[in-house]
Amino acid sequence: MSEIRQDRATKRWVVFATERAKRPNDAVKRGETAPEPEYSEQCPFCPGNEAKTPPEVIALRPAGGAPNSPGWQVRAFANRFAALRPEGEVHVQNPEWFTSITGVGVHDVIVEHPHHNESPATMTAEEMLLVLEVITQRFAQLRGDHRLAYLALFRNQGVAAGSSLHHPHTQLIGTPIVPAHTRQELATAREFYDDSVCCVYCSTMEHELADGRRVVLDNDHYCAFMPYASRWPFETWIVPKHHEPAVVFDDRFDITSFAQTLQSVLRMLYLAAGDPDYNLVLHQAPQRDSCEDYYHWHMEVVPRLSTPAGFEFGTGIWINTVMPEEAAPYLRSFAGQ
Amino acid sequence: MSEIRQDRATKRWVVFATERAKRPNDAVKRGETAPEPEYSEQCPFCPGNEAKTPPEVIALRPAGGAPNSPGWQVRAFANRFAALRPEGEVHVQNPEWFTSITGVGVHDVIVEHPHHNESPATMTAEEMLLVLEVITQRFAQLRGDHRLAYLALFRNQGVAAGSSLHHPHTQLIGTPIVPAHTRQELATAREFYDDSVCCVYCSTMEHELADGRRVVLDNDHYCAFMPYASRWPFETWIVPKHHEPAVVFDDRFDITSFAQTLQSVLRMLYLAAGDPDYNLVLHQAPQRDSCEDYYHWHMEVVPRLSTPAGFEFGTGIWINTVMPEEAAPYLRSFAGQ
């Protein structure tokens, strides 16, 4: 008998199809891809090729050096094929029927490492920390931009996850609208708070820690677990223990511990699931809607080990073939390697 | 400058990224796949291999013949790896925190043609009509099942669209819950109706016909258009002109005209976009929530010509690189071929 589970924080239903159930290691990626070189002449993100990208907005150069030249450890610039552009103001057009707004916003690329063939799974926690420092600096710069309603941070690893360039990078899109998924998460979290006077993410984390079976990693500042109603095999959430609706830039955000936690989770996934393609997405409160009582920022890692099809796109119900109670201990067995 | 458009029926926002804009024929699928044979000994859906599937629930045998033997034109049976099973009653479990319900439901496969290498794009409208007759017969059987809250009909064409078997087939999943996407569509349509006393799908169709640029096909009974806020290149909706919340089985549903319309749209897409992988999804009212005034059934065709990534999954905002005003005339140029 299959089981249909509901995620409390999103009200999302997921079918666990036990008739086609797989052991966690049956869901992992098969087949070898050719190793990439440390430097690629064609790659616009490799050191020495800075002229192939728009000018940098932030870069870390531990040993100094001129902007837009080699010597950087992490480097951020506008996406050359940006979905949104920072020029101009937001205008609403044709409000009668065919509504649109001008595509004003930001779309950054943050190159995470000088080496073409690195990934967070093979980087050190110290290198990950430098990436997070650039991201939080960029967040701080964009907090004051009145045109940006939401800052979406995401990472696409591999072709199946929508990445077109191998060189390790994260992207940041600042949108002039609050995304529909964010609005839905906020509405569900607010309703839960109004009914129970507690945060649904705090409560979920407490219940997951008490149950323990789906917990991947637990430290003083963060908890990583596979949600009870995971949509994808090995889906993992990283949730801060300190309730905070968005990433902040003071000592309430333990950035060093977050770098260690994120790197450890991605390392375990890399080893357990055969270097899978995945998306990493930050969920946080909108820029001008602080949602302090009821929302709670977190990071979702969704390995692309299955292909969403007509049923998932049409209904929003997901079918998962791997139980998180089986995937989590398998992932944990790779801890510290 | 990019443009961010909103779909009125779903409130969904889509970014049209003109910086990475493609002409419609640049978005089409490249590369050849090896042709498939008319019969495959390994295929469980091919005639003669009926013993490899669960027993049929409906089949059309124009020249007669025994059940579960060759001679059928269309054949429906339970999915061997069903996500949901029809045995038992729906029970809610652990309502305190980790909520789940038993995986009761139906999951059918409808094999559309005896030939392994056919597809709706190469079938005749008469053959398509037989498929629709089996689907509507099956709908009629399942209407009375009190355990089923929603009937989801979908077709996955090709590996990128989540299909694992080449032989042409459609799937039907009857779920014990109303899907979240359906609830959201209903809520938006109801709000529109309460504000304007008309159906948002009727109004959308009227505006699309008046504008004309995105219309793909228009006949007495159906209109096919690429929505103003298309998520995917070549996304096309088929909307019945007669307002009806769900597919019905009397002369209000012109099944012959629908077979012709659907076959024509899929044929044009096949020719214009290089036999792309796609999902086809029916959107209709729930089983026991008739939504008569404000909901309107329709079929959505979503070619998988791009890969949704972290931004799309995280935010629900889609990025499209092809304007429907350019894709629609390109598709229309293949009409009648």
pLDDT at B132: 96
Token look-up 């690629």 returns A40
Q: Tokens for A286, please give them.
A: 């909108």
The Cα of B4 is separated from the nearest Cα of chain A by a number of Å equal to 5
pLDDT at B32: 64
Strands (E), chain A: 3-6, 13-16, 56-60, 74-78, 92-93, 100-102, 106-111, 150-157, 169-175, 215-218, 222-225, 236-240, 278-283, 298-303, 318-320
Q: Report the SS3 class of residue A329.
A: helix
The Cα of B125 is separated from the nearest Cα of chain A by a number of Å equal to 23
The Cα of A39 is separated from the nearest Cα of chain B by a number of Å equal to 26
ipTM for the complex?
A: 0.92
B107 phi and psi angles, rounded to 5 deg: -145, 95
Please list, residue by residue across B73-101, b when 16 or more beta carbons sit within 10 angstroms of its beta carbon and e when fewer do.
Answer: bbbbbbbeebbbbbeeebeeeeeeebbbb
Share of chain B above pLDDT 70, in %: 97
Put simply, the answer to whether A315 touches B171 (Cβ < 8 Å) is no
A3 phi and psi angles, rounded to 5 deg: -130, 135
Question: What pLDDT, in 10s, does the model give residues B97-122?
Answer: 999 999 999 999 999 999 999 999 99
pLDDT at A26: 80
Q: Rounded to whole angstroms, how far apart are CA atoms A170 and B26? A: 26
The Cα of B92 is separated from the nearest Cα of chain A by a number of Å equal to 9
Please count the other Cβ atoms lying within 10 Å of the Cβ belonging to residue B255.
17
Q: Rounded to whole angstroms, how far apart are CA atoms A156 and A79? A: 14
DSSP A235-299: -EEEEESS--SS--SSTTS-HHHHHHHHHHHHHHHHHHTTS--EEEEEE---TT---TTT---EE
DSSP B282: E
Q: At what angle do helices B255-272 and B125-142 cross, to 10 degrees?
A: 120
Minimal Cβ distance to A316: which of B159, B180, B309? B180
Contacts of B159 in chain A (CB under 8 A): 307
Cβ-count burial of B44 within 10 angstroms (0-12 exposed, 13-18 middle, 19+ buried)?
middle
Question: What pLDDT, in 10s, does the model give residues B224-246?
Answer: 999 999 999 999 999 999 999 99
Q: Rounded to whole angstroms, how far apart are CA atoms B109 and B168? A: 10
Minimal Cβ distance to A316: which of B156, B171, B179? B179
Q: Rounded to whole angstroms, how far apart are CA atoms B271 and B323? A: 19
Minimal Cβ distance to B85: which of A2, A156, A176? A2
Cβ-count burial of B30 within 10 angstroms (0-12 exposed, 13-18 middle, 19+ buried)?
exposed
The amino acid that residue A61 corresponds to is R
pLDDT at B110: 98
CA dihedral (B122, B125, B130, B134) in degrees, to 10, reads 90
Query: What is the CATH class of B3-332?
Result: alpha beta
| Probe site for chain A from B1, B3, B4 (most A CB atoms < 10 A) | B4
Q: H-helix or E-strand containing B258?
A: helix B255-272
pLDDT at B34: 81
Minimal Cβ distance to B311: which of A101, A173, A182? A173
Contacts of A82 in chain B (CB under 8 A): 2, 17, 19
All residues at 6 or more sequence positions from A72 whose CB lies less than 8 Å from its CB, including other chains: A47, A56, A59, A60, A61, A65, A111, A114
Q: Rounded to whole angstroms, how far apart are CA atoms B136 and B217? A: 24
Q: H-helix or E-strand containing B278?
A: strand B278-283
Which of A174, A196, A230 lies closest to A10, judged by CA? Answer: A230
Q: Rounded to whole angstroms, how far apart are CA atoms A32 and A195? A: 50
CA dihedral (B114, B120, B125, B126) in degrees, to 10, reads 10
Count A/B contacts: CB-CB distance under 8 Å: 230
B4 in Cβ contact with B228 (< 8 Å): no
Q: In chain B, what's the furthest Cα-to-Cα distance? A: 63
Put simply, the answer to whether B314 touches A11 (Cβ < 8 Å) is no
pLDDT at B25: 80
Token look-up 């929603």 returns B150
3-state helix, strand, coil in chain A (%, to 5): 25, 20, 50
Minimal Cβ distance to A162: which of B88, B100, B308? B308
The Cα of B299 is separated from the nearest Cα of chain A by a number of Å equal to 10
Q: Rounded to whole angstroms, how far apart are CA atoms B158 and A305? A: 17
Strand pairing of B318-320 and B13-16? parallel
Put simply, the answer to whether A207 touches B300 (Cβ < 8 Å) is no
pLDDT at A30: 62
| Probe site for chain A from B7, B11, B19, B92 (most A CB atoms < 10 A) | B19
| Probe site for chain A from B97, B185, B237 (most A CB atoms < 10 A) | B97
pLDDT at B270: 96
Which of A196, A272, A271, A283 lies closest to A245, judged by CA? Answer: A283
pLDDT at A24: 84
Which of B284, B279, B269 lies closest to B201, judged by CA? Answer: B284
The Cα of A225 is separated from the nearest Cα of chain B by a number of Å equal to 14
Minimal Cβ distance to A100: which of B3, B160, B162? B3
pLDDT at A32: 64
| Probe site for chain B from A99, A101, A235 (most B CB atoms < 10 A) | A99
Which of B29, B6, B26, B2 lies closest to B16, judged by CA? Answer: B2
Minimal Cβ distance to B154: which of A5, A300, A314? A314
Q: Rounded to whole angstroms, how far apart are CA atoms B20 and A80? A: 9
pLDDT at A252: 72
B266 in Cβ contact with B248 (< 8 Å): no
Q: Tokens for B205, please give them.
A: 């169709």
pLDDT < 70 regions, chain A: 21, 29-32, 249
pLDDT < 70 regions, chain B: 21, 29-32, 249
pLDDT at A67: 97
